[in-house]
């Protein structure tokens, strides 16, 4: 064998091993929290003039309405920038207690908010700013003729629920329990948007999500109301975080969410008033 052949072979293998290491890193990054980072340099320069970045961690279901409010905030306060991290409330809470630098936390349930307040990471008491009701999302035109929560238990129907650790999953389980229904989904998704996406892609026949998510998806899904959802309405609390790098802007953003303007955006998206 020639020397160059040996070298080629080794290069291939080293490249393979290196790529393995890289992939392993990228595969795990989603479960890391960013505890290594601490204290961003952004801070309010003066009390009345807001500036810098305000970082908002918000439940996945708030994506559309909070993005709109973020733009409004940036227009009202030139020089500021609102960055969002949307996700399952439980994983957001876990990264906040793990030290992720954020200014505001808006969760989809008091239980996930308690993870943050119990650790003493919140400044002040959380305030409920909206409530959200569950709805069944079906394929456009509702081809499986789903009319009630009970219809989801029909055999052969592919239903996805949120995982029980996220608020929409807890609420769905509560609705199922109170009506004494046993539902075996094909998957427990990690947040409400992931559950909705499975229906949008037509991989699942139905999902139990929030009314606001059905609204946001437009004509890609069809919503079916069910009376049991009244027993499982989620309160959405919002709070400023203790280690907020930009406390002034955080206060202003929470004020905007609770203002008449903010509430209008949220109720138009399908949220209920607190």
Partner 1 sequence: MTSPTDAPDRSAAAADTLRGGPRRGRVRTGFGRGVPLPLLVPALLGLAFLVLPLIALLVRTPWHSLPDQLTSPEVWQALKLSLLCATAATAVSLVIGVPLAWLLARVEFPGRGFVRALVTLPLVLPPVVGGVALLMALGRNGIVGKWLDAWFGVTLPFTTAGVVVAEAFVAMPFLVISVEGTLRAADPRYEEAAATLGASRFTAFRRVTLPLIAPGIAAGAVLAWARALGEFGATITFAGNFPGRTQTMPLAVYLALQSDPEAAIALSLVLLAVSVAVLAGLRDRWMTSS
Chain residues in the site for partner 1 (CB under 8 A): 1, 5-6, 8-10, 12-17, 19-20, 22-24, 26-28, 30-31, 88, 90-91, 93-94, 158, 160, 163, 165-166, 185-190, 198, 201-204
What is the H or E stretch that residue 24 is in? helix 3-28
CB of 128 to partner 1, least distance (A): 22
The answer to whether residues 70 and 84 touch, using CB atoms and an 8 Å cutoff, is: yes
Q: Between residues 162 and 257, which has the closer beta carbon with respect to partner 1?
A: 162
CB of 188 to partner 1, least distance (A): 5
Q: Say how far apart CA 271 and CA 150 lie, in whole Å.
A: 24
CB of 7 to partner 1, least distance (A): 10
Q: Between residues 108 and 269, which has the closer beta carbon with respect to partner 1?
A: 108
Q: Between residues 103 and 189, which has the closer beta carbon with respect to partner 1?
A: 189
- Which residues are paired to 209 by β-bridges? 135
CB of 187 to partner 1, least distance (A): 3
Q: Between residues 43 and 142, which has the closer beta carbon with respect to partner 1?
A: 142
Q: Between residues 19 and 147, which has the closer beta carbon with respect to partner 1?
A: 19
Q: Say how far apart CA 48 and CA 73 lie, in whole Å.
A: 15
> For the chain, where are the E strands, in sequence order?
52-59, 80-87, 104-106, 122-132, 134-138, 159-162, 187-189, 206-210, 222-224, 234-241
Q: Between residues 47 and 201, which has the closer beta carbon with respect to partner 1?
A: 201
CB of 31 to partner 1, least distance (A): 5
CB of 20 to partner 1, least distance (A): 6
CB of 154 to partner 1, least distance (A): 16
Q: Between residues 191 and 228, which has the closer beta carbon with respect to partner 1?
A: 191
Q: Say how far apart CA 242 and CA 238 lie, in whole Å.
A: 13
Q: Say how far apart CA 135 and CA 254 lie, in whole Å.
A: 27
What is the 8-class DSSP label of residue 4? Answer: H
The answer to whether residues 102 and 96 touch, using CB atoms and an 8 Å cutoff, is: yes
Q: Residue 210 contacts by C-beta under 8 Å, 6 or more apart in sequence? A: 61, 132, 133, 134, 135, 168, 192, 234, 270
Q: Residue 62 contacts by C-beta under 8 Å, 6 or more apart in sequence? A: 86, 106, 108, 236
- What is the SS3 assignment for 209? strand
């Amino acid at each position: 064998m020639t020397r160059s052949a040996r070298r080629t072979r080794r290069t291939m293998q080293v490249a393979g091993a290196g790529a393995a290491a890289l992939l392993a890193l990228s595969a795990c990054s989603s479960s890391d929290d960013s505890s290594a980072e601490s204290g961003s340099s952004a801070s309010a320069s003066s009390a009345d003039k807001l500036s810098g970045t305000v970082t908002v961690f918000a439940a996945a279901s708030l994506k559309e309405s909070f993005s709109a409010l973020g733009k409004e905030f940036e227009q009202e306060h030139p020089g500021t920038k609102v960055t969002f991290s949307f996700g399952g409330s439980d994983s957001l809470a876990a990264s906040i207690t793990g030290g992720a630098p954020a200014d505001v936390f808006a969760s989809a349930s008091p239980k996930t908010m308690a993870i943050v307040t119990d650790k003493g990471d919140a400044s002040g008491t959380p305030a409920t700013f909206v409530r959200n009701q569950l709805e069944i999302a079906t394929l456009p035109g509702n081809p499986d003729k789903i009319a009630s929560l009970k219809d989801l238990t029909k055999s052969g129907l592919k239903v996805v629920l949120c995982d029980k650790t996220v608020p929409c999953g807890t609420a769905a389980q509560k609705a199922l329990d109170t009506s004494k229904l046993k539902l075996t989904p094909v998957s427990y998704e990690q947040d409400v948007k992931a559950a909705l996406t499975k229906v949008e892609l037509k991989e699942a026949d139905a999902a139990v999500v929030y009314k606001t998510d059905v609204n946001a998806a437009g004509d890609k899904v069809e919503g079916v109301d069910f009376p049991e959802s009244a027993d499982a309405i989620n309160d959405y609390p919002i709070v400023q975080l203790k280690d907020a790098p930009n406390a002034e802007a955080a206060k202003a953003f929470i004020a905007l969410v609770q203002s008449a303007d903010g509430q209008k955006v949220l109720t138009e998206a399908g949220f209920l008033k607190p």
